[in-house]
Copies of this chain bind each other. A is one copy, B any other.
Amino acid sequence: MIDGKYNITVVGAGGLVGRTMVRVLEERKFPVNELFLFATERSAGNKLNYNGKEIEIKTINEDSFKNIDIALFSAGKKASMDEAPLAAKSGCIVIDNGSYWRMNVQVPLVVPEVNPDAVQNHKGIIANPNCSTIQLVVALKPIQEHFVLKRVVVSTYQSISGAGQKGVDKLMSEINDKDNNSNQKHKVAFNTVFHEFVDDSGFSIEETKMLNEIRKIMSMPELPLAVTCVRLPTLGGHGESVNIETEKPLSVPALRECLSSQKGITVIDNTKNDDYPTPQLAGDTDDVYVGRIRLDNSVKNGAYLWVVSDNLRKGAATNAVQIAELLVEKKLFEFKTFV
């Protein structure tokens, strides 16, 4: 820290999330002393604008984390595994957008609106949760506090931008392929697909992430939770159709009030005027939007919610920068690393 300002680096600055991190640092006026950008060879040499200055993206070397206060990582699993511990060992706090560290018991998994105190005893690596997890826990937190959650069933409507620039490019090229002659098993354009499957569980990797991360962030390891994750040909935001059951009785006005009073949530819920949140509406903003609040009479104390947020911002870059703001606010730059 120099004069209350911090040396920051973004690792993975060539990707969709990395580029958004740079924009969000500027927009939120994070107290940056100097900003360094790293990426792989592919993006090295490119420049990103930050506060009117062009900053060149470089490749990482052994000195990259010297004198850096915070490193925002969004650079893939290998970087999380190999570079993040190096950074932490050299005294730099890593906020990692990847999934590699999230379930490690030594690593706080933080959504500032939900579990800010978890950041307190960090050991140099702090994990940023999965996009679909973040927006849901922001909506569930006030409901847990006011009504006590008994069960949550969620089906997601996730933007292909969650697969990065590669995913967006695939969608656009399929749309422009007028002959429709790509031979792949599952197209993204005009279709719905699932995330990768890596084991025999029947659950996709995205579904397993949500199941684990939501329980960890909310400190509810036994929360009954059902998750189905679906990827759509949409841009700029994830939707989530949520059915909750609670211990205490619900009403639509009480739910609206409790959700509206939660920092980070905007309630848009006037269906008579066709007002509800959409990915289009959430795009390029930082809030979590909730609408379609209805009672669900198929179960005791049941309700429906429709939760939308920009997966690249609150679902990734903005949440990471908010964690950095927490570190500043709570003065948490002294730590002993576990790696």
Contact = CB atoms under 8 A, between A and B. Distances in A.
A43 to B, nearest CB: 25
A280 interface: yes
Contact of A280 (B187, B202, B279, B292): B187
B234 A294 contact: no
A258 to B, nearest CB: 17
A271 B185 CA distance: 13
Contacts of A243: 153, 226, 228, 243
A306 interface: yes
A202 B304 CA distance: 10
A225 B192 contact: no
Interface stretch (A48-56, A104-112, A295-303): A295-303
A276 interface: yes
Given A157-B157, A271-B204, A298 B224 contact: yes
B252 A202 contact: yes
A315 interface: no
Given A175-B175, A186-B274, A200-B272, A298 B226 contact: yes
Contacts of A151: 298-299
A155 interface: yes
Given A298-B224, A299-B151, A304-B226, A233 B186 contact: no
A192 B226 contact: no
Contacts of A272: 197, 200
Contact of A155 (B190, B204, B241, B280): B241
Contacts of A236: 190
A80 interface: no
Contacts of A230: 157, 239, 241
A335 interface: no
A101 B306 CA distance: 31
A293 B224 contact: no
Nearest to A294: B202
Contacts of A186: 274, 278, 280
B233 A190 contact: yes
A279 B191 contact: yes
Nearest to A154: B155
A55 B276 CA distance: 45
Contact of A197 (B224, B274, B278): B274
Contact of A192 (B152, B193, B201, B278): B278
Contact of A292 (B202, B235, B271, B274): B202
A70 interface: no
A169 to B, nearest CB: 14
A165 to B, nearest CB: 15
A304 B228 contact: yes
A6 interface: no
A120 to B, nearest CB: 30
Interface string A281-300: 00000000000111011110
> Which 4 A-B pairs have CB atoms at the shortest separation, nearest pair first?
A224-B298, A155-B241, A155-B155, A197-B271
15 contacts: A152-B298, A153-B153, A153-B298, A190-B233, A190-B234, A190-B279, A191-B234, A193-B278, A197-B271, A201-B294, A203-B294, A204-B271, A224-B298, A228-B243, A232-B232
